[in-house]
Structure 1
Amino acid sequence: MTARARVLVTNDDGVAAPGLRRLAAHLHDAGHEVVVAAPERDESGCGTSRAVAAGGLVPTRSTTWEEPAGVPVHAVGGPPGLIVTAACQGAFGPAPDLVLAGINPGANTGPAVLHSGTVGAVLTAAHHRRSAVAVSLGHGAPYHWDTALRALAVLLPGVLAVAPDRRPLLLNLNVPNVHPARLVGVVRTGLGPHAAARFTVQRHGPGLLRATHQEHQGHRGGEATLLAAGYATVTPLRPPTEDTGVLLDLPDARQVPGALVGDPQ
C-alpha cells in the first residue's frame, strides 16, 4: 500500500456483518485511519438510496471496537448512500479520502450493480469526488474473506494514487469464494449480461407479493465464467451520465424562451 489514508468502511448488510469487520481490520492493520459507518440493519438492494424518515432525523449509535482496537464505529438508521454522503460532509469526523464498501457476501455482477447497496455506496462516493471500491465475495460456506482481501490488495495502491483533483476511480471487485491459494489472479472485465443471483417477484395471494433471491446457475458468460475459473474480476464504473447518442425530435432547451439551462456536460 501507499501513503496512509483516512478510509470510510461501509456496507449494505449491516454493522454486525463479519465481512465489514474483516475489511476494517485489514485496513487498520495496514496502517490506515479507519472509520466504520454502516446501516444498523440489513439494507441490501437499496442501490444509491439516501432515503430518510419524515422529518429528516437519522438515528445513529456510536461506539469503538476493541478488535480492531480503537476503530470508531457508527451504526446508522439509513442506507449506505446516505452514510457515504454524511461521512463526506463531516458527520463522522474528517471526511474520508477513500470509500470501501463490503465485504459483501454474494457477487454483484451484470445488471445487479443497479440495485446493489454495496455498489450504490461507491457511486455515491463519486458525487463527493472520492474514489471508492465495492468488494463482493461469491456465496458459500465457509466464506474465504482473506481471498477478497488478497484481491483488494492488488487494486488499492492504484486507487490511493489517484490525485484529489482527478476524476475519482470507482471499481466493482468480485472475488470467487475459494481458498486464497486457489485465486488465479485479478482481471479487468466489463459488466456481464447476467447477475450472479436471480431476483424474482410474484403474486402470493390477495394483497401480497413474494420476493425471492437465489443464486442463478442458468447462465454463464462474462464475469460469471471468469469467477467460476478462479479469477477475481474488476470493472471500472461511472455514475449515470447523459446518453448523447440518442436522437430526439425536440427543440433544444437553450432555444426555448425563458428556459434556465446550464452549460451542457
Structure 2
Amino acid sequence: MPEQLRVLVTNDDGYESLGIQALAAAMEGLGHAVQVVAPWDDQSGVGSSRAGMIGKAISSKVGENGFIGIDGTPALAVTLARLGAFGPSPDVVVSGINNGHNIGPILHSGTVAAALTASSQGLSGLAISIDSEQPSYVETAAAVAAEALSWLLEQPQGTVINVNVPDVPIAELKGARWARLVPYERSRLVLEKAPTGEPIVGLVLREPPTETDTDEALLLAGYITVTPITGVGELPGDSAATYLTAAFAQ
C-alpha cells in the first residue's frame, strides 16, 4: 500500500455527528488522505442494508467541512465510495465513532456493518464505538482508533476488528483486551402493548455479566475491547446436504 492511504470514514449517526468529526481529525493526524461519506441522518440499527441501491439515484449533499452526506445507509456509503462515486476508491474503511457500545450480537449495527461491507469488497475495516450515548471523552476513542488503524494496516486485506472504548479520559484506560462477543445483548427485548392495543417492543436491562472475558464484562471493567470479526461464512459439516440428498437424489 502507498505510504499515504485513502481512508474512508463513515458512521451510522450522521455525517455531522461529533464522533465522525473526531474520527476524521484523528485519521488526518496520521497523515492520510481522508474522505468522509456517511448517512445524512441517523441510520442506527440498519445493519448491512443497501436497500434501493440498484437503478436508483442516490441523493447527496456536502457540508461546510467537506463531509458528504448521502440519503442511505453506512453500507451504501462504503459501496458507493468503493465504486468511485466520490473519487478514487479508498484503501481502508474506518467506521464510527458510534455513540454507544457495539457488543455481543452485532448483527444489526450499522457501524459494524460498514466495516464488514468493506471486507466483502476487498478492504480492511475498523469499527469503533464509545460506551456512552452522550460521550464526554470522544477524543479518547479517536486516539484509540488511530492506534488501531496503524495495527490494521499491517494485517492481510479484508481484516475487520470491532473496538469498544470506555467513555473516560485516556489516562484512566486500563488497557486493551481481546474479547469474545457476549452471546446476548446487554438489554433484552420484551413485548408490551400500547394503550390502543398495538404491540410495542421494549428494552429491559439484564443483570451484570458473570463472565469475565466477554466484551461486555471487559468494557464495564474499564478496558478497551478488541474483537476480530468476520461476515457471512460457511461452517463445516454436510449433514443437511446428506439429508436432502437422501430425499431428492434420483
Partner residue of 1:228 out of 206, 209, 220:
220
Q: Which amino acid aligns with 1:182?
A: E
Aligned residues: 243
Structure 2 unaligned segments of length 5 or more: list them.
Answer: none
Note the 1:91-240 alignment, pairs <5 A.
91-111=85-105, 113-139=106-132, 141-162=134-155, 166-200=156-190, 202-206=192-196, 208-212=198-202, 216-220=205-209, 221=211, 222-240=214-232
**Greater shift in the superposed pair: 220-229 or 168-177:** 220-229
Identity of aligned residues (%): 37
Partner residue of 2:80 out of 53, 73, 86:
86
Q: Which amino acid aligns with 2:235?
A: D
RMSD, aligned α-carbons: 2.5
SS of alignment partner, residue 244 of structure 2: coil
- Whether the 8 Å contact between 1:151 and 1:186 is mirrored in structure 2 is no
Residue 6 to residue 198, structure 1, CA distance change in 2 (3 Å): farther
- Whether the 8 Å contact between 2:130 and 2:166 is mirrored in structure 1 is yes
Query: TM-score normalised to the size of structure 2?
Result: 0.88
Cα separation, 1, equivalents of 2:104 and 2:167:
18
1:17 aligns with 2:17: yes
Deviation at 1:153, TM superposition (A): 3.2
Deviations 1:1-20 (A, max 9, x none): x9321111000111121101
- Whether the 8 Å contact between 1:170 and 1:238 is mirrored in structure 2 is yes
Cα separation, 2, equivalents of 1:89 and 1:246:
37
Runs of 4+ aligned structure 1 residues displaced above 6 Å come to none
2:61 matched to which residue of 1? 61
Q: Which amino acid aligns with 2:75?
A: G
Residue 101 to residue 54, structure 1, CA distance change in 2 (3 Å): closer
Structure 1 unaligned segments of length 5 or more: list them.
Answer: 66-71, 258-265
Q: Which amino acid aligns with 1:137?
A: I
- Whether the 8 Å contact between 1:194 and 1:219 is mirrored in structure 2 is no
Deviation at 1:157, TM superposition (A): 1.6
Residue 139 to residue 41, structure 1, CA distance change in 2 (3 Å): same
